[in-house]
Amino acid sequence: MLRIIDARTGESVAAAPVRRGLTRVEVHASGYATGTLRVLLVADLLVRALELGGTPVWALLTGARDQAELRAGAAALGARPFEDSRDVGAGLGEAQVVHVAQEGSPAPDGVLLTVAPVDGVTDLPAAWDTDPAALRLALLSARRETPLRLGTDAVDEARGTLTRWRHAVADWSRRPSRPVPDPVRTRLRRAWDDDLDVPAVLATLHAVETDPALPDGARFETYAYADRLLGLDLARDIGSLA
C-alpha cells in the first residue's frame, strides 16, 4: 500500500483510504516556474501510483496565477490532466484528500505532501528544445523532499539516459516476452509505495539493464511496467530499429 509522509505531522500515512473509495489529489501551484512544474509532476506520480494500486483518483489544480501555462507545461512533461478546482462543485464523496504543494506554500487542512524547490535553472524554455521527457526525468531524479539543483549537465545526463533506455527497450521488444521477475516487481512496488521513492525505482531499472541473468524479454516487460509510473514514454522507439 502506498504510504506518504504527511508534512503536517511528519508521520507516514496511507495515501489511499482504508475503506475502498475515491482519493482527491488537490495540487496547489501558482506561478509558472520549474519548481511549480515539479509540484505538478510529483502530484502526477501520486495519481499514477494510486491508480496502479487500484484506487480511483480525482485530481484538481488550484492556484491564482499562470494556470494555463502550468497545465500546458505539465502536459508537455507527460502529466495527466488536472481538473480546474474553480470549475467543480462539491466533492464526489471522496474518502481521502491529499494536498500537494511546494514547501512553505499555504494549503488547506488535511494530509499534505510537500515538494522541495528547484534551483539552478536559468533558461527553462531551452529544456523543451528536444525531448521534454528528459526534463521530466531530471526533475524526478531526486526524492521530492530533496532540493534539486537543475542545470544543463543534469538535463543532458537525463537526456542521455532516456535515449539509451528507449533504444534498449526497442531492441528488447524484438525478443520473446518474459514476465517481470517477482523480486524485481516487488522491489519496484516497495520503492514507489515508500513515499514515492522514484530514485529507488530508477536504481532498479539501472540494475535490470545490466543484470546478465535476465532475459531481454523480462527487461522489456520490467521497463514497460515501471513506465506506467514514470511516464517517460520508454517504448517510443519500438519499431524504429533497422
Three-state DSSP at 4 gives strand
From first CA to last CA, the distance across the chain in angstroms is 42
Q: How much of the chain exceeds pLDDT 90, in percent?
A: 65
Domain extents in the chain:
3-115, 123-242
pLDDT level of residue 122 (50, 70, 90 thresholds): low
CB 98 within 8 Å of CB 107? no
Mean pLDDT of 198-220: 97
pLDDT, greater one: 19 or 195: 195
Please provide the DSSP assignment of 137-203 as one string.
HHHTSS-TTS-EE--HHHHHHHHHHHHHHHHHHHHHTTSPP-PPPHHHHHHHHHHHHBT--HHHHHH
Residue 88, pLDDT above cutoff 80: no
Phi, psi angles (nearest 5°) of residue 32: -80, 115
At 126 the pLDDT is 59
CB 25 within 8 Å of CB 112? no
pLDDT level of residue 16 (50, 70, 90 thresholds): confident
Mean pLDDT of 124-148: 82
pLDDT, greater one: 117 or 84: 117
